[in-house]
């Protein structure tokens, strides 16, 4: 899980390094309701930051994100934040309370650190898929076919491909 999370984060860093001196990081994408690669990147970063900040007290509230505009408008701070997350992510498992604010209620859910790392990995991959949509719309081909694809989907496709060619 940590290896896969690290690879996903490194793929995103690699993409951002290629966009470092580019207006594309902040370009609104029509097919994504005018969101930007920067906004999706900030969102990924801030959920991981919430998890890491909540590890010590064993309480995570993803609704309490900073929504730091610098992370969505400047590539270098986003890369730095992702590198820091990647360095700090591997920790021992422990019980975690996830707090959500839904409507007029505060809801508390039991979870674990490993479960939340997995959640963040899936969340990261989901947003990478949206980032890939942005890249396609801008006609920028700088990521692999596997960028934004869940490992389970990759395994499934490989098994189906193997099965089809064995027939």
Domain with 100, as residue range(s), is: 2-166
The structure tokens 């990647």 sit at 86
Least confident of 63-67, 71-75, 151-155: 151-155
With residue 49 as reference, give the H or E element that holds it: helix 37-55
Number of domains in the chain: 1
Of 109, 4, 121, 3, the closest CA to residue 58 belongs to 109
**Phi and psi for 138 in degrees, rounded to 5?**
-85, 0
Query: What element of type H or E holds 153?
Result: helix 151-166
Question: In a 3-state reduction of DSSP, which class is residue 53?
Answer: helix
Domain harbouring 116, CATH code: 1.20.120.450
Stated pTM of the model: 0.88
**Could you report the per-residue pLDDT of 88-147, keeping only the tens digit for each?**
999 999 999 999 988 888 899 999 999 999 999 999 999 999 999 999 999 988 888 888
Instruction: Give the whole-angstrom CA distance, residue 41 versus residue 39.
Output: 5
pLDDT at 151 over 80: no
Share above pLDDT 70 across residues of the chain, in percent, rounded to a whole number: 92
Distance CA 127, CA 53 (A): 21
The whole-angstrom separation of Cα 140 and Cα 27 is: 13
Q: What's the pLDDT at 93?
A: 98
Q: Which helix (H) or strand (E) holds 32?
A: none
**DSSP line for 15-37:** HHHHHTT-GGGG--BGGGTTB-H
């Amino acid at each position: 899980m940590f290896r896969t999370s690290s690879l996903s984060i490194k793929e995103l860093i690699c993409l951002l390094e290629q966009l470092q001196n580019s207006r594309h990081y902040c370009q609104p994408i029509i097919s994504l309701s005018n969101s930007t690669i920067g906004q999706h990147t900030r969102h990924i970063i801030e959920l991981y930051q919430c998890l890491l900040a909540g590890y010590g007290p064993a309480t995570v509230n993803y609704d309490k994100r900073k929504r730091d505009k610098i992370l969505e408008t400047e590539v270098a701070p986003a890369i730095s934040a992702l590198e820091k997350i990647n360095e700090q992510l591997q920790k021992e498992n422990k019980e975690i309370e996830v707090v959500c604010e839904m409507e007029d209620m505060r809801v508390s859910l039991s979870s674990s650190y490993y479960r939340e790392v997995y959640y963040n990995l899936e969340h990261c991959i989901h947003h990478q898929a949206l980032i890939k949509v942005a890249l396609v719309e801008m006609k920028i081909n700088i990521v692999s076919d596997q960028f934004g694809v869940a490992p389970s989907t990759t395994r499934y496709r490989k098994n189906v491909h193997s099965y089809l060619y064995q027939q």
